[in-house]
Structure 1
Amino acid sequence: MTPEPMWVFAYGSLMWNPGFPVAETHVARVEGYHRSFCMWSIHHRGTTESPGLVLALDEGSGVNCLGLGLRVEPGAEEESLALLRERELVSSAYLEKEIDLILQPGEVVRAVTYVIDPNHEQYCRHLSLEDQAQTIARAVGGRGPNTEYLYNTVDHLRETGIEDPELNWLSQRVREITTGSDA
């Protein structure tokens, strides 16, 4: 009997830096969640003293999120899941979920993804876009500048044909702030 393939839903840095061997990639959609800079980053893109922001899937009614469905290379499932847990569960602000993922052109698969714990102290749901931009423009963490995280995510979304107007606005605004042209 062939084991079930392992799928991962990538909506932020996993799109451009999965950290595990990927056998197959598809644009994919998850229902009931949207991508949002709603998590303070105190490890990877900020510090405890100067937190950055990272994306999380935030649960909501009537919302969805486009990202990438990544099928893990057969035989690498156990190691890949361990790597994902080490990376994504570093502060327990994410919850690991198994969700239905709709691959383009319509196949539904079960996938692992990471969603924000709305009861965690790193959850910051109601920041304005301007406050998000100001935070991202200045924060730096163990994996580098918060700006790099934003720019790479936006670039990768564009490369895959996914439009995210909020992230596009944030990218433009952060560039204005960091170049001093934020008149």
Structure 2
Amino acid sequence: MEASGTKRREPLLTREALREGFVHKMIANSGSALPLLTDQERQASLEGTLAARPSAGDVWLFAYGSLIWNPAFHYVEKQTVLIRGWHRQFCLSTPIGRGTPDRPGLVLGLDRGGSCRGVAFRIAASEAETELELVWRREMVTGAYVPRWVELQGSGVPAGTYAIAFTINRRAPNYVRPTSEADTARVIGDASGILGSCRDYLFDTIHGLEGFGIRDRHLDRIARLVHERPTNNSG
């Protein structure tokens, strides 16, 4: 799959930006009606998730989208894995980061059903809370995701290994039920925001997956449809 034809920009979601609350500020200053979690709510979510972990020790985090190609957290190991009961889907409308209120984009979530191949990152127990706090500042700003423990399957992880995965919150106001791949491609092809275009998000995800030997035929089909559309340079 070819790239979008533009040079990839350096990601704005760096460790420093996340520490400074970049995502929260971006949404708060946008005028969007998306609800924001308070610092206390976000911290309680992190603490509750860690308290529910199936076993002590290092913490695994399952990545299926931008966390693969821009993790922005420290880890000691990464493995290609499979999870069951969830699938990768463009099901979250974004009126800010990869879109605008007038032309919202779409980003990935884990929706119920099927299975998903992705990358599991192992974070040292001594750094888990600090590193995951950065991840929570990135993923758990509006409550669009529900962090939960999922079982990993793969030759590089022991049986019975669980990881944190950010599954979609179907009650979130910007949850989008799956539509046709053509409709999804149309939204992705036209949307762009502060973090860049949806096109680049799609292509970066495909290339990130390919780097681990993972092919997602659903994303490939959407990408082919996007390639057939003219590039929107408004963002």
TM-score under structure 2 length normalisation: 0.70
Q: C-alpha distance in 2, partners of 1:44/1:23?
A: 29
Structure 2, unmatched stretches of 5+, are 1-55
Question: How far off its partner does 1:140 sit?
Answer: 1.2
| Structure 1 residue 7 displacement after superposition | 0.6
Question: In the alignment, is residue 9 of structure 1 matched against residue 62 of structure 2?
Answer: yes
SS in 2 for 1:102: coil
Distance 1:83 1:17, change over 3 A: same
Q: After TM superposition, give the deviation of residue 97 of structure 1 in Å.
A: 1.1
Q: 1:8 to 1:106 in 2, by over 3 A?
A: closer
The one of 148, 169, 175 aligned to 1:117? 169
Query: Is 1:95 aligned to residue 146 of structure 2?
Result: yes
Taking a change above 3 Å as real, the CA distance of residues 75 and 141 of structure 1, as seen in their structure-2 partners, is farther
Equivalent residue for 1:30, pick from 83, 86, 90: 83
How far apart, CA to CA, are the structure 2 residues paired with 1:74 and 1:141?
Answer: 35
Q: 1:50 corresponds to which residue?
A: 103
What is the letter of the counterpart of residue 118 of structure 1? R
Equivalent-residue separation in structure 2 for 1:73 and 1:141 (angstroms): 34
* CA apart distance, 1:179: 5.3
Cα distance, 1:151 vs. partner? 0.3
Instruction: Quickly say closer, same or farther: Cα 1:44–1:103, change in 2 above 3 A.
Output: farther
Q: How many pairs align?
A: 176
Q: Deviations over 1:22-73 (max 9, x none)?
A: 210100111100000011112321122221101100012xx11000011124
SS of 1:103's equivalent in the other structure is coil
Q: Decide which structure has greater strand share.
A: 1
Separation in 2, partners of 1:111, 1:43: 28
The higher radius of gyration belongs to 2
Q: Identical aligned pairs, as a percentage?
A: 35
Q: Is 2:201 the partner of 1:149?
A: yes
- Coordinate RMSD, CA, aligned: 1.7
TM-superposition CA deviations, 1:150-176 (whole Å, max 9, x none) = 001001111211121110111121122
Matched residues in 2 for 1:159 and 1:81: separation? 24
- Alignment gaps of 5+ in structure 1: none
Instruction: Indicate whether 1:104 and 2:155 are aligned.
Output: yes
| Runs of 4+ residues deviating >3 angstroms | none
**Counterpart position of 2:94:** 41
| TM-score, length basis structure 1 | 0.89
Aligned to 1:170: 222
1:69–1:103 Cα contact (<8 Å) kept: no
1:19 to 67, 72, 94: 72
| Aligned 8 A contact 1:103 1:109 in 2 | no
